[in-house]
Structure formats: structure tokens, C-alpha cells
Structure 1
């Protein structure tokens, strides 16, 4: 099954028409449309609303290993060089409020551009906040939906895909414009969904036995907290699946000795910076 979450009815309409989805009248609090292969959820606008909608709908469903989850929607682009209508498959998601970073597994081939999405609780004002934005594109749902979906799906099952609607000038975006943007890319999205659904990671191992041992050694040496552990694994895994060697990181940090957690946190920040900038 393919589970798709959108924030807006205008984002949903082209999908409902193209895939011939029918309304599920058994779900009362949210609009859900489906056929035999797709479940489409309209969550409403905003990070919190998106997370609540996903949790409410998925909470009573039986999610299987072969299922995938997709958050599809429009976004604003920071750089003018990013064209209206560009499809961005997000390889990093930043929650602007909590400062949490998420790194979806990008283990399958695709034709889309990859980029970093930053999710805000509010509409971004380009004039005021342009210097504070870390992402290449921004929205108001992605990070919340990703974190909620991760309660039900494994990391490699979750996908965030955005279509650029503006350059942080959302006042020009109408429902008709959103529908047009999705309709213009629906064939490419449908093709990608088919290819993505057929890709199964199964029990594929990312790290060798030696790499696993060295990673554990680094974690012990740096005295990582639980949250730092999960971020560290996501960072290392993302770097490895981009076909880049993690040997330099391992050699540099597997034998390092620290005195306390504060020193461990400083070294962890160094690792994060090295991985992101390498």
C-alpha cells in the first residue's frame, strides 16, 4: 500500500482524479480517499495539524514492511535559481522549532533533484527571515509529518517530496495554482510512485560487521545520549548510502578519549559538521 499525506485539498484533487480515489466515509475527523493501492490523507495546514492527522489515521491501520509513506505538497524555494514547478525529493528535513534533523534513507534511484527541507510553524517572511533559513526549500508540514510517520514506518519507508510553488512569496499562491502545479507533474509523480513501491530494501545491510563495531566504539567513547545516538546513526547511514566512505570518520574518532559528556558533545558536533560538509 502507498500512503500519501497532503496538507491541502488543492494538493489532493489532482491525485484523487488521477488515481480514481474514493472517499472513505468510515473516517470522520479527516478526509481520506483510497483505492486498492493508495490511501490519501488530507491533514490540514501546519506542522502540528499534520502530525496529529497522520497519527489519527494511521493509528488503527496495519502497516506492512512493503508499504511506503509519502508526504507530497508544495513548498517555497529560497534561491531564485530553483524554478517554479521543480520536484524536490528531500534528503534532509529540519524542524525549525525543535532544531531536530531527519535524514530519510535515499537507497533507490530516481530522476528528481534532492534538497534540504526546513519546516516552520509559520509562513516565512523572506524579507525578515532569509538569513536564518538553513534549508533550500521551506514548508509548514514536512518535519511534523515525518516525525509522526516514523512512529508507524521504518525510516526507509518514508519519503518527503515537494513541488516548488514560489520563492517565499506565498501571497501569490491560489488553490487553482496549486492544482495546476500538481497536475503538471502528476505523470512523473505516478511513475516515481510505481518505481518506489517496487523497490524493497528488505534486510539489506548498510554497514559491514567491522563498520558496525567501529561505530559502536565511537558511541561508547563519546558517551552519546540516546537522542545523539539516533542522530549519529542517521548521519553515518545517510553518508554511507551516498556511496561515500566513512573510513575517515572512523579512523579519526574510534580511538578518541573524552573526560565527560560535555567534551563528547563537542566532538559529536565536529562529526556532524564533517559529515554534512564532506
Structure 2
């Protein structure tokens, strides 16, 4: 189960195409696209919109689903130095909200194909190093001191996500889109940069969290067993004991084929005693 939050469609588009997600019809404010257990949410720009989108999506999930959900925010960010190249991707290990002065510390991603990390500052409006640019907040070099990347959504995402999801499930990643020249990025440029990152990270995003255990007994073995025993009159207690034996077998033999009794012998079971003997023989084979 995975959820991916973007501010704008141009950031999300390459991921939507890879996932082949379809828009979800719902009564909420924000656009949600889904395929299977994977969701992509577009919030609109700004930390408030992002926080509200996280909250709205979280309320569509049960507590168990939240605990198993991988939750990412990806997007573009401006770099304060030309040493960071356009298109470079960074995981964020510290977020500072410049309005509230609060710091947030996302857990570091382990075993990712993309390994660069840096810090992020979230502002309430677009910022630039240039002077007197319409619709941009002009800041001096001194005001950018100690800052690597800047955006408008990171702190809103993380603060809201941490209210609903385990901290270890949450990650923030940003692509360098500009060097704060005071110009808005072109849609096609954003899509191109995001497509490159999506091609690398897509499989990482859709893969289960490593600490969320997938119960192969329930999802793989037991459906096969249910199909085999459908004409046998096993009691609920017998089924319960059989599942315990299968679990014992699987723990000792994680890659082995599950043993089944000879199919032809089922037709020869004429009494409860025959069934009990048949059943115990099967269970014994699982404990060898």
C-alpha cells in the first residue's frame, strides 16, 4: 500500500502514467488517482493545501491501513546554490517551516537507488535571489545562509502526515528545478525531470514497506488448501489445527512446495474415522 502526494499535475503526470491510475470519484476536495492499493493525490500549491489533502486522504483509511501505508511527498524545489544541478534528486532529512520556525526530521531512506540527502526550507510564497520580482519574495544571500533547497509544501505535508501515519512510513524527496531566478518552471520541464526520477523510484514506491509482514499462509497457501478441502467435512477446529500445521511447515520450509494428500484418496473416505485418519496423516506430513 502506497500513497504519493504532489502539489501539481505536472509533477504527478509521469507517475500516473507508470501506475496507469484512474481518477477516484469521491466527495472530497482533492484529486485522488488509484490503482489497486496505490494512490496518487494532487493537493494544489502551498503547505496548507498539502496538509488538508493529507488529512482528507488519511480519513479514507482504517488505522490498520495507515500503519501499512508507505507515504511519500515528491516534487520540485529551488536550490540556493548552483552546485546543485538541475534535475538532481534529494531525499530530505530536515524540513524547516520558515513561518513557524519549526523543524521536522523525516527518517532517512535506506536501500534506495537514489542516495543523495539534504535539507529543505518551506516558505509561504515563491522566493527568489533576484530583487523586485512580481509575485516572488526576494531574499538576500544572508537570508538563504544554511539553506539547501526551498519549496512551499514540505513542512505542511510532513506535519500533517505525522499525525496519521507512523513516522517510519513517511518520506520527502525533491528535485532541483531552478536556482531561484524568479521564474516559474515550465510544465514540460517539470514533467521531464519527474519522469527521470519516476523511472528510477517507481518500483521502490510500489513495493511493500520492509517491516510490514506479508502473511503467505493467508495470501498464498490457505487459498490452495481451501480449494482442496472444499468437499471434505472438516470442522472449524480441524481447519484451525490444519492452518497451525501449515504455518509450522512454512516457517521451517519457506520455499518448499506445500504437501497435499493424494487427491484420489478423498473419494474413498466413508466415515468420520476415515476422515480423521486422513486428516491426521496430512498434518503429520507437515511436521516432518
Using the size of structure 1 for normalisation, the TM-score is 0.68
Which residue in 2 is equivalent to 1:92? 94
Which residue in 2 is equivalent to 1:7? 7
Using the size of structure 2 for normalisation, the TM-score is 0.66
Contact 1:24 1:31 in 2 (8 A): yes
Q: Measure, in 1, the Cα distance between the counterparts of 2:203 and 2:115.
A: 12
User: 1:100-119 CA deviation, whole Å, 9 max, x = no partner?
Assistant: 11111226232320000110
Q: CA RMSD in A?
A: 1.8
Which residue in 2 is equivalent to 1:121? 124
Which residue in 1 is equivalent to 2:30? 30
Secondary structure of 2:41 counterpart = strand
Q: Measure, in 1, the Cα distance between the counterparts of 2:103 and 2:212.
A: 23
- Residue 173 of structure 1: how far off its partner (Å): 1.0
Q: Measure, in 1, the Cα distance between the counterparts of 2:157 and 2:35.
A: 22
Gaps of 5+ in 2: 131-137, 214-288
Q: Measure, in 1, the Cα distance between the counterparts of 2:60 and 2:127.
A: 34
Contact 2:91 2:118 in 1 (8 A): yes
1:75 to 74, 77, 94: 77
User: 1:57-100 CA deviation, whole Å, 9 max, x = no partner?
Assistant: 22231233222100010111111010111111001111111111
Secondary structure of 1:29 counterpart = coil
Secondary structure of 2:183 counterpart = helix
Which residue in 1 is equivalent to 2:261? none
Q: Does 1:131 align with 2:115?
A: no
Q: Measure, in 1, the Cα distance between the counterparts of 2:109 and 2:172.
A: 14
Q: Measure, in 2, the Cα distance between the counterparts of 1:17 and 1:6.
A: 14
Which residue in 2 is equivalent to 1:101? 103
- Residue 183 of structure 1: how far off its partner (Å): 1.1
Which residue in 2 is equivalent to 1:54? 54
Which residue in 2 is equivalent to 1:140? 152
Which residue in 2 is equivalent to 1:219? none
Change (3 A) 1:61 1:198: closer
Counterparts of residues 93-242 of structure 1 (less than 5 Å) = 93-106=95-108, 108-110=110-112, 111-127=114-130, 128-129=138-139, 130-133=141-144, 134-194=146-206, 197-200=208-211
Secondary structure of 1:5 counterpart = strand
Q: Measure, in 2, the Cα distance between the counterparts of 1:7 and 1:95.
A: 17
Q: Measure, in 2, the Cα distance between the counterparts of 1:107 and 1:15.
A: 19
Q: Measure, in 1, the Cα distance between the counterparts of 2:186 and 2:37.
A: 30
Contact 2:23 2:34 in 1 (8 A): yes
Q: Measure, in 1, the Cα distance between the counterparts of 2:209 and 2:164.
A: 20
Contact 2:129 2:182 in 1 (8 A): no
User: 1:175-211 CA deviation, whole Å, 9 max, x = no partner?
Assistant: 111111111221112133256x342288xxxxxxxxx
Secondary structure of 1:177 counterpart = helix
